[in-house]
Structure 1
Amino acid sequence: MKIDDYELLLKLNEIGTIRGTAKAILISQPAVTQRLKYIEEYFGQDIFIRTPKQLRLTPSGEMILEHARAVCLREEAIKNKIAESSKEVQGTLSIACSSLVSQRFLPAILGEFTSDFPKVAIDLVTGISEDIKRNHKNYHVCIIRGEKLKESTSIRLFDDPLYIFDTEPFPEGQLKERPLISFSSDDSMHELVDNWLYHHQDEIKPLRTITVDQIETCKQFMKQGIGMAVLPESVSDSMKEEYPHIPLKLENQLVTRDTWVCFQEGARKLPQVDQFIQVLTNRTFL
C-alpha cells in the first residue's frame, strides 16, 4: 500500500462519491474505481457500500479508515521533522485561505514565495472563513476574514474598510430605496452590513436582497444598475472614481473587515511556515 492509496480512502470518505473524488484529485473516475478495487482486494474486505447517492463505510471500512488516518498523520509528522531539521527550506506548506484574499492577493504572494523557495510544495484550500475556522487544525497557516481564531496565534494583516456602491447617487437628507445585491460570505460580514443598515434606516432602505455566489458577480450586477452593493476596499478601490459610493461608518468610525493570518503554536518551527508568515507580515496589502 502506498501513502497515496491511504489518502485516496480519506478523500473518498470526505467527499462521499467516486465521481466527486475523481474531480477533486484530477484523475478519471475509472482510475479511482480501479484503485479502490485494488485497496479492497489488498485488505480482503469491502471498505464502502455503494449507495445511489453516497459511499457508506462498512464496519471493516471504519477500521481501515482509522488506520489510514494514522498512517497519513505519521507521514506528515516525519516530513515536518525532516523539514524542521533541514537548513534548506523545503517540505509541504498547507494553507487555507479566504476566497477574497486568494483571488486578490494570494497569486502574487505565492508567486514570490515559490520563486524564493522552489522546493516547498504548496497544499492550498480556499473558501469561506467560517468553513476554514472549523477545520483550522488541518493546516499550517490559515488566512481568514472577520474574527480571529482565539485558540491560535493570530496576526492582523490589514483592515479592509467597507463601502456601499451604486450607479445612482446617495442624496443627503433623502431616503434611498434600492435593491441590495449581496454575495455569499460568512455570517460576520452579513452582520456588519445588517447592523449598519439598521443604524441608517432613515437614509437607505433595501427594497429586496439579491444574493449571488461570488463577489465578482455582485460587482457586475451593481455596475449594470441592478442595485446597491456593499464591497470591501480591497476589491473596489478602482471603482471609487467611476461609481457613487459612501463609506460604512458607525459612531464616526469606519466599518472594516479584519484579515488575519492564524497558526498553531509551534508551527513556525517549520522553516517553510516561518518564511511564508514572514512574507505575509512584511507585505503592504492596501
Structure 2
Amino acid sequence: MDDRDWLILHTLNNEKSITKAGQSLFLAQPTLTKRLKQIETEFGVKIVDRGIKGVQFTPEGEYLAKRANEMLQFLREIKEDIENFNQNVSGTLRLGVSNFISKYKLPILLKLFKDQYPDVEFQVDTGYSKDIFNLVYNQTTHIGFVRGDYSWPGQKLLLFEEKLCIASTNKLELEDLPRLPRIDYRTDQLYKQLVENWWTEHYSQPPYIAMSVDQGDTCKEMILNGLGYAIMPSLFVDGIEEIHKIYLKDNKGNYLTRKTWMFYHEESLNLNVVKAFVNFIKDIDLYKL
C-alpha cells in the first residue's frame, strides 16, 4: 500500500461510485478497478460490492476506508512538519470557506497573501457554513471562514458583521409582506432558522414563497428584475441603487445581524504558514475589500 492507494479508498468512500472516484482522481475506470482488486488481494479481503445503488463497502472495506482517512492525515502532517522545519512561510495552506466569502472576499485575500508569501500554495474547499465548520473541526482544513454563530471550542476571530434586510426594487411596507411574492435561496440551516424566527415573531401567517433559487446571487438577479422581495444579508445588495432595503429588527428593537468568523485550532499556529495567515487576516479590514 502506498499513499495513492489510501487516497483511492478515501475517495471511493466519499463518492460511492467507481466512475466518480475515477474522475476525481483522474484515473480511467479500468485502471481504478484493477488497482482496487490489487488492494483486495494484498489484504486478502473483499473491500466493496458493486450494485445498482453504486459502491457498498464491506465491513472490512469500511475499516480500511476509515484507516485511509487517518493515514492520509498522518502523511499530510508529516509533510507539513518537514516544510515547517525552516522558518520560511511556505507549504500548502488548507482553507474551508463559505460560498459567499469564497466569491466576494477570498480571491483578493489570497492574492494579497500570495504577494507577501509567494512560496505558499492553497487548497480551498467551499460550501455551506455547516460543512465548512465540520471541515475545520475535524482538522481537514487549517482554517475555516464560517458565517453564523456556531459554537466553536477553538480559536476564532470576528471578521465582520452584516445586517439582515428586506431587499426589493419597490418600496415596501412591512405589514404587506405576507401578501407579496418572496424569493428564497438555498442557504445553511442556521441562517434559515434566524429568518424563520423573525417571521414568526412578526406575522401569524406564512410567507408567500413565489420561487426558490439555488444561491444568493441568483436571488439578487430575480429581485433586480422585479420578481419579488427577499430577506438576505445586506452585503449581497450593498451599493445597488435600484434595490431598496429595510433592515430587520427583533421585538426589542435590535438589528438582526449575521456574523462571519475565522475558526482555527490553537495547535495549528505551530505551522508557519497558518500563523502567518492568521496574523495577515487580523491586519486586514474585510469591509473595505
TM-score, normalised relative to structure 2? 0.87
Alignment match, 2:216: 215
* Corresponding position: 1:77 with 2:77: yes
Spell out the pairing of 1:38-187 with structure 2 (5 A cutoff): 38-135=38-135, 136-137=137-138, 138-171=140-173, 175-176=176-177, 177-187=179-189
Unpaired runs of at least 5, structure 1: none
* Residue 87 (structure 1) shift: 0.7
In structure 2, what is the equivalent of residue 191 of structure 1? Answer: 193
**Alpha-carbon contact 1:149-1:262 (below 8 Å) kept:** no
CA displacement, residues 43-77 of structure 1 (integer Å, 9 cap, x when unaligned): 45432111121212234423433442342232122
Separation in 2 of the partners of 1:62 and 1:26? 23
Checking the alignment, whether the CA contact within 8 Å between 1:104 and 1:235 is kept in structure 2 is no
Cα distance, 1:25 vs structure 2: 4.0
Comparing 3-12 with 208-217, which one deviates more in the overlay? 208-217
Structure 1 counterpart of 2:237, one-letter code: S
Contact kept in structure 2, 1:95 and 1:125, CA below 8 Å? yes
Decide whether aligned partners of structure 1 residues 170 and 16 sit closer, same or farther in structure 2, where only a CA change above 3 A counts: same
Rounded Cα–Cα distance in structure 2 between residues aligned with 1:285 and 1:118: 21
- RMSD in angstroms over aligned alpha carbons? 2.4
Q: Cα deviation per residue 1:241-274 (whole Å; 9 max; x = unaligned)?
A: 1122211122333211100000112111111111
Contact 1:90 1:272 in 2 (8 A): yes
* Structure 2 residue aligned with 1:2: 2
Counterparts of residues 4-23 of structure 1 (less than 5 Å): 4-23=4-23
Q: Is the 8 A contact 2:158 2:259 kept in 1?
A: yes
Taking every aligned residue pair, what percent have the same amino acid on both sides? 30
In structure 2, C-alpha distance between the alignment counterparts of 1:154 and 1:41, rounded to whole Å: 46
Cα gap change, 1:76 to 1:224, in 2 (>3 Å): same
